[in-house]
Amino acid sequence: MKKHSWRISLHGGHSSAYCDHADDPLDTLVSAAVEAGFHTYGITEHAPRFRNEDLYAEELELGWTVETLLSQFEAYAAELDRLVQTHAHHLHLLKGFEAEVIPAESYKEKMLHLKNTLNFDYMVGSVHYVHEISIDYTQAHFEDALDRCGGLEKLAQAYYEHVQIMVEDLKPDIVGHFDLIRKLAGPAAELESPDVLRAAENALETIRETGCIVDVNTSPLRKGAPYPYPSPVFMKMIRHKNIPLSFGDDSHAAAHVGAGLPEARKYLLDHGIRLITNLVRVGGRIEKECIPLL
């Protein structure tokens, strides 16, 4: 069988009808993926949130409620089912979603319920909240999280502990943006202190044992950062542990589709990584497939 192209993305495709902070409709993003020559494109809209206090200010201004989020998410799953069929002849389109870790006491059951009842191909497990406070949304929320944890080093440590617990709870196919904690922290030595690196390595060990793929997420590149997630310090651990990697453009607009992918490929090659791992739907089941980067 002919090997597929490394042009894949398994995390992204956030779209305007289902996500308040995305810019283009879902069919436009899918058309952009076809035009960009993707072999596989995985769409992973954000899971709904289940408590009104977790809605963003922009969502409240739009008059949205938790019921709005859930019905939009169900409509998303149905539209994606249709798009998978209509594009089947030229794009391996996968139906996924990006899980949340809130509410802390019930996210596990809620996310697994969504995956099963709406018949998703796969799940990206992401941590956007530490102790239920958002860490990637506004600087004000990030400051709250810093106060709650007692500074950046403690927050980063808690973040990786949350990643480890999320992996144990959800066993996601893919772990999204492994070091997202760096997004609002800026360059800071605390992010690579011995305690933080130990917590991150523990999370990576659980990822390895669970068989998850780590998302090489290109969103920092389009915002001017020198490398994608995960940072070089984690690439060494990932290579040492032989953890599989996939690409994710984390697109929230058609212009983001495929952005940063060639740079991310070079980044992996520079770290001695020669294979990318894809997900393929075979007879209704999802299997891993390794694709050479060269």
Give the footprint of Zn ion on this chain (CB under 5 A). 14, 126, 176
CB of 21 to Zn ion, least distance (A): 5
Complex with Zn ion: residue 99 or 279, whichever CB lies closer = 99
Complex with Zn ion: residue 112 or 253, whichever CB lies closer = 253
Which residue has the closest beta carbon to Zn ion?
126
Using the 8-state DSSP alphabet, how is residue 138 labeled? Answer: -
Place of tokens 């617990």: 165
CB of 248 to Zn ion, least distance (A): 9
Complex with Zn ion: residue 176 or 258, whichever CB lies closer = 176
Complex with Zn ion: residue 126 or 277, whichever CB lies closer = 126
Burial group, residue 169, by CB count within 10 angstroms (0-12, 13-18, 19+): middle
Instruction: Determine the Cα–Cα distance for residues 41 and 250; give it in Å rounded to an integer.
Output: 11
Quickly list DSSP for 52-64. GGGS-HHHHHTT-
Instruction: Determine the Cα–Cα distance for residues 220 and 223; give it in Å rounded to an integer.
Output: 5
Check: CB of residue 64 under 8 Å from CB of residue 53.
Answer: no
CB of 289 to Zn ion, least distance (A): 24
CB of 262 to Zn ion, least distance (A): 22
Tell me the two tokens of residue 252: 């929230």
CB of 166 to Zn ion, least distance (A): 12
Complex with Zn ion: residue 183 or 265, whichever CB lies closer = 183
